[in-house]
Amino acid sequence: MTNFLTAAFYKFVGLPDFEQLKAPLLACCEEHDIKGIILLAPEGINSTIAGPAAGVHAVLAHLRRDPRLADLQHKEAWSSRPPFRRMKVRLKREIVTLGVPGLDPNVMAGEYVKPQDWNALISDPDVVLIDTRNHYEVAIGTFAGALNPDIKSFAKLPEWLGVAPALKAVAGKKPKVAMFCTGGIRCEKSTAFLRMQGFDEVYHLEGGILKYLETVPEAQSLWQGQCFVFDERVSVGHGLTPGQHGLCRACRQPLTDDDLASPLFEPGVSCPKCVDHTSKAQKQGAMERQRQWELAKARQQAPVGERLEPTDQV
């Protein structure tokens, strides 16, 4: 049964009073049994939440009563198990961190391209196609022909863009660039950054990979693999069908069946991708967190202090 509705949304809009929005928003979510994470910052809101459909819609209605968020758009998906275990409303400096002073996506973002028009754009040999996501996301799926910056965090992208050979001007003309990410938010900033650097023809996939997978039939798709998502589904495929990847709760990276079967995989403690990058003390701490999580699960309680990753998929 698909009893849990997931809603992903973001909006760049000035929220100078963002700190005052936290308490009533958290109360609304708790009242309607909603789990997930909402980021609030002076530049806007970024969120993925899940729960009963009526509850999700009640939270969206609460947000849209604010005139600044009246036109807030969201994407929906269903799942048979709860995608999140806790509810967090966090105050941030940016709703997705790039760390570039003066960058305003409301003014500088590139041109949106609808999913049904995306194939034609990225099939143009003169277009430089860039995957703006982190290395572990790209590893399980991307568009054919896309450049992989191989970054550990979005904040590292400007540095890569500054030296990428494919972005060098030829005869004084900068190339045409198409960018994509999971749900669109990272591309709002990455395309704005390129425009700040003097690129005139910059495009990004409207609604991100998720909207493309929802909209474009698999037979016509240029997407290869799965799309990593920042919740308990871990990955989705065409039609937003949940994928088969597991999740390492130590490093938060997606795991294949081979990873899960590896002797280096210990639930909540390590996996083949991170086992050599954590100390004995860190592993012991992870073991204790895992023990507490298993106890809480047996008691059907939310684990105390469980870490939720900031959503980056919308």
Our measurement of the distance from residue 230's CA atom to the centroid of its chain's CA atoms, rounded to an integer in Å, reads: 6
The conformational region for residue 194 under phi > 0 = left, psi -120 to 50 = alpha, else beta, is alpha
Q: Which of 132, 155, 159 is nearest to 143 (CA)?
A: 132
Contacts of 16 (CB under 8 A, 6+ apart): 42
Does the annotation count 181 as an active-site position?
A: yes
Give the integer Cα–Cα distance in Å for 262 and 255. Answer: 10
Q: How open is the CA angle 47-140-158, to the nearest 5 degrees? A: 60
Residue 80 to residues 33, 130, 190, 226, 286: CA-CA distances in angstroms? 16, 33, 34, 19, 28
Give the integer Cα–Cα distance in Å for 257 and 242. Answer: 15
Query: Do the Cβ atoms of 223 and 145 come closer than 8 Å?
Result: no
Q: Which of 171, 164, 169 is nearest to 179 (CA)?
A: 164
Provide the H-helix boundaries in 6-79.
Answer: 18-31, 53-64
Catalytic residue among 29, 181, 187, 248: 181
Query: Do the Cβ atoms of 249 and 307 come closer than 8 Å?
Result: no
Query: Do the Cβ atoms of 271 and 264 come closer than 8 Å?
Result: yes
- The position carrying tokens 């809009």 is 13
Residues catalogued as catalytic: 181
